[in-house]
A and B are shown apart, each in its own frame.
Chain A
């Protein structure tokens, strides 16, 4: 047991922690030069990204306290999700530079960027943690930072309301999760995922309290990925928070939640792998039925409620609930192919969702509204932003030739290969429903002629480049998707299994 020798495995986390300290100190010492804070955070993110890339392919336990039992597992799955989190954070910092909501709080940028980096550290530990207590701690680190960030503009009533709702729902669900963890600890005597697996294989603990504890732990994960019984916070928090934070929550924090869910299911319940990469799970808990039910209800509710939303941010919130439902179907296949499709989906979902939020933010900066009715005729007065938003929304629907089609295609193929035809058809019908509300925005932009006022948005070079960085992958991965698929296939490896 030598903890210092394992420190090289958490270099990305160390770099991010250093960034956090530097940001706080810089903000304290150079109060006047706040415009350097995003540059500092971007440097930290890039440095961490280099370490993450170097770490890819490592398959080692970090901080072992006995043979095979470690606090962290550095494997390809966690490294892949760390990559997704870093790319998202990179874009979010860029967004924050030209968000008028963030600009309106002049002296508090140090707070903003340090909390943002704090969220990143929480997510980094979350995606690689192999111990229930570390999962709980890192989830709290992530949540505590995001509670504050979602209410960042203190004078805004919408912001404060969003953070109140977030903190109440969040602390309740994490409290329930902790109670579940304590029951599981009592039943198995350990909090390590692999050790729990060993104990479950050896003895028979089929017990109502075991099922109860798993459901309680699922409440914590379900809150992070906002699936149906735990989704109530999502629309309000997404609508009320600053757009940068909404985009961050809808991509990065969801990715971290899915990573920990996949690791939890596979590490705790794994008993073998059969032909075609399907997992044989221990028969204590029927994950497939639970996950399929949750995801079908989630996507149906998300899509149908999105139909009558007038606020574009709220609509995107429901659409992200629906997307969580699709992604959960990939997990529910419980096979290597299913996880591959989840990873592909996340890589693409990141670009298209961030892009949609960016365009909404740029338009809201100018017209001060996210209401779909205010988008009338905008396709003509701001042709570039209109076209780009159209691409992102078509991609979110999942139509070719955009990348969203590839994401859905691999998901449905995984479902059909697993002989879950009925589920695949329900998901397909849901996609058809989602077409209506995405296209409604485009209809307002291009087909409604009564232009109330002409809007001119002069794009700054930086925001132009950011849009291109997001829209090019969406178009490119729609045609040339082999690299992303190959990369995802390599990244499903989980340590010790």
Chain B
């Protein structure tokens, strides 16, 4: 039987991070881009908790993860409000079509 160690968590978090970046780069829908950002934040959270659990650094990592969860919620709320406002003004949430400010 394989014991789950630090490496497993790090692999998961790196996978999540890469998937987040991939979503941000390829998705056209602003909401999907924001979901990619959430993936990145959560991958960092997994890192913090895994390091503090397996590195014997005390509870710092868990506390940091709590802070990050709250911030991620605040950021999601604000970002969704902004996307909603874009939809009201332009009737689209496609980030490629929001390009009035190009020279």
The answer to whether A155 and B78 touch (CB under 8 A), given A182-B51, A309-B103, is: no
CB atoms of B44 and A161 under 8 A apart: no
Q: Looking at chain A, what size class is its interface with the partner chain? A: 35 or more
The CA-CA distance from A147 to B40 in the complex, in Å, is: 19
**A419 interface hit (Cβ, 8 Å):** no
In angstroms, Cα B101 to Cα A147, docked, is: 17
Smallest CB separation, A219 vs chain B (Å): 12
Is A167's CB within 8 Å of the partner chain B? yes
Is A163 engaged at the interface, CB distance under 8 Å to the other chain? yes
CB closest chain-B residue, reference A310 = B103
Is A161's CB under 8 angstroms from B101's CB? yes
Considering the complex, give the chain A residue whose CB is closest to the CB of B37.
A171
Q: Is A160 an interface residue (CB 8 A)?
A: yes
A284 at the interface (CB under 8 A from B): no
Bound complex: CA of A176 vs CA of B40, how far in Å?
Answer: 7
User: Is the pair B67, A171 in contact by a Cβ cutoff of 8 Å?
Assistant: no
Residue B90 lies at the interface, judged by CB distance under 8 Å to chain A? yes
Are A172 and B44 in contact, with the CB atoms below 8 A? no
Q: Which residue of B lies closest to A187 (CB)?
A: B51
Give the chain B neighbours of A239 by CB distance below 8 A.
101
Given A164-B83, A168-B30, A171-B79, decide whether A186 and B64 contact each other with a Cβ distance below 8 A.
no
Is A445 an interface position by the 8 A CB rule?
no
* Shortest distance from the beta carbon of B72 to any chain A beta carbon, whole Å: 9
Contacts of A308 in B (CB 8 A): 103
| Partner among B36, B57, B79 whose Cβ is within 8 Å of the Cβ of A189 | B57
Residue A431 interfacial (CB < 8 Å): no
B44–A190 touching, CB < 8 Å:
no
**B residues within 8 A CB of A446?**
none
How big is the B interface, by class? 35 or more
Interface flags, B64-82, vs A, CB<8A=1, else 0:
1001100100110011011
For residue A189, which residue of chain B has the nearest CB?
Answer: B57
List residues of A (149-202) whose CB comes within 8 Å of B's CBs: 151, 154-155, 157-158, 160-165, 167-168, 171-172, 175-176, 178-179, 181-183, 185-186, 189-191
Which listed residue (B43, B71, B79, B89) contacts A167, Cβ 8 A? B79
Complex Cα gap A167–B37 (Å): 11
Give A360-403 as 1s and 0s: 1 = Cβ < 8 Å from B's Cβ atoms: 00000000000000000000000000000000000000000000
Residues in A neighbouring B55, C-beta threshold 8 A: 186, 189
Most A-side CB within 10 Å, residue of B43, B44, B79, B100: B44
Interface residues of A (CB under 8 A from B): 133, 137, 140, 144, 147-148, 151, 154-155, 157-158, 160-165, 167-168, 171-172, 175-176, 178-179, 181-183, 185-186, 189-191, 235-236, 239-240, 308-311, 314
Interface residues of B (CB under 8 A from A): 13, 17, 20, 24, 30, 33-34, 36-37, 40-41, 43-45, 47-48, 50-52, 55, 57, 60-61, 64, 67-68, 71, 74-75, 78-79, 81-83, 85-86, 88-90, 95, 98, 100-103
